Amino acid sequence: MSTRAFSFDTFGLEHLRMIDVEEPDPGPGQVKLRVLACSLNYRDTLMVAGQYDPRMPLPLVPLSDGVGEVVAIGPGVERVAVGDRVAATFAPRWIAGPPERALIRHTRGGPLPGMLAEERTLDAEGVVKVPAHLSDEEAATLPCAALTAWSSLVTEGPVCAGMSVLVQGTGGVSLFALQLAKLLGARVMATSSSDEKLERVRALGADAVLNYRETPAWGREAAKWAGGDGVDLVVEVGGAKTFEESLKAIRPGGVVSLIGNLSGSSAPVPLTRILMSQVRVQGILVGHRVGFEAMNRAVEAHELRPVVDRVFPFEAAPEAFRYLQSGEHFGKVVIRVAR
């Protein structure tokens, strides 16, 4: 029986169309999911626009993040059972350990088919059970944004109680970084372009806030707030226009966790400042499955609730993309797939 998916065969959101697809029954080592909800990441908007990789093979079903109910399993599958609620992992072959090219180039939502579909047949190794206390919509936000924040703070951090963390803006990754850093016992400063959003991050637990539009040279302010020599870890999502301020905020020996490039992807690098302060600039690419499972245990133990800004119906998927692009959101934008 055919089901529905969204796909584009030419770059540009105007080419994102609903199509009918026949999803195969699961073969050995595979599971079939009835997709319940998906979430959007900034990367998905770049992917559809052709700005992530203009050579990405098309057609493509977008979105790396989705949660589904297992409706069938193929021979040999023991990790999950029919009825389990699972999330697809971002890089399904990367189970644990250091990244290897062969493991991290196969990522969901490009080049692998994404989750914006009513049904998906996936390798069982590339799914993870999600915390029971979360709604489908909340659980759908975990695979990319939450795990990226977790990898930055824990797997490659590490952040512990009493440390200071700076998070930039109020998008998906940054709000998870705020929530997880608080859960780890850190002090957190959050920045935003909007005073209204800063009120909301305070309510989420931020210890200090700063409007980066009003205070473009926020690096020294953040270092002063942290006390001592500066902030222990910066969750860097701004990229070109924020990196230098992050280097002013960080303490000698601190970590700038390089995650995003919202303001551009190339800038002059102050090499001397990095080496003289022995700063660690740590690139992050989402994370592996074992990290996802460890994060889920923390999310469950602390009953963390992801910040879902808006939920769009499946048929309105292109509107969800437009909304994310508008930058009005606070946290995650979700698409409800199952009726």
Ligand X SMILES: NC(=O)c1ccc[n+]([C@@H]2O[C@H](COP(=O)([O-])OP(=O)(O)OC[C@H]3O[C@@H](n4cnc5c(N)ncnc54)[C@H](OP(=O)(O)O)[C@@H]3O)[C@@H](O)[C@H]2O)c1
> By CB under 6 A, is residue 212 in contact with ligand X?
yes
From 3, 155, 263, 277, residue interacting with ligand X (rule: CB under 6 A):
263
Q: Does 288 bind ligand X (CB under 6 A)?
A: no
In 7-91, which residue ranges form alpha helices assigned H by DSSP?
Answer: 42-49
Radius of gyration of the chain measured on its C-alpha atoms = 20
**Contact call for residue 246 and ligand X (CB under 6 A):** no
Residue 149 beta carbon to ligand X: minimum distance, rounded to whole angstroms: 9
- Residue least distant from ligand X (Cβ): 171
Identify the residue among 127, 286, 304, 311 touching ligand X (CB under 6 A): 286
Helix runs in the chain, H state only: 42-49, 101-104, 136-139, 147-150, 172-183, 195-203, 218-226, 243-249, 271-276, 289-301, 317-326
Contact at 8 Å (CB) between 93 and 29? Answer: no
215 sits near ligand X (criterion: CB under 6 A)? no
Q: How far apart are CA 152 and CA 258, in angstroms?
A: 9
Torsion angles phi and psi, residue 248, rounded to 5:
-80, -30
Please say which residue, 135 or 155, places its beta carbon nearer to ligand X. Answer: 155
User: Nearest distance from residue 333's CB to ligand X, in Å?
Assistant: 8
129 close to 80: Cβ distance less than 8 angstroms: yes
Return the number of the residue (32 or 197) whose C-beta is nearest ligand X.
197
149 with 306: CB under 8 angstroms? no
Q: Is position 107 an interface residue for ligand X (rule: CB under 6 A)? A: no
Q: Which is nearer to ligand X, 281 or 285 (CB)?
A: 285
197 binds ligand X (CB under 6 A): yes
By rule CB under 6 A, what string of x and - marks binding of each residue 150-189 to ligand X?
A: ------------------xxxxxxx---------------
Cα–Cα distance measured from residue 169 to residue 19, given in angstroms and rounded to the nearest whole number: 35
Residue pair 278/299 in contact by the 8 Å Cβ criterion: no
Instruction: Give the binding site for ligand X (CB under 6 A).
Output: 41-43, 144-145, 148, 168-174, 191-194, 197, 212, 237-238, 241-242, 259-263, 284-286, 324, 327
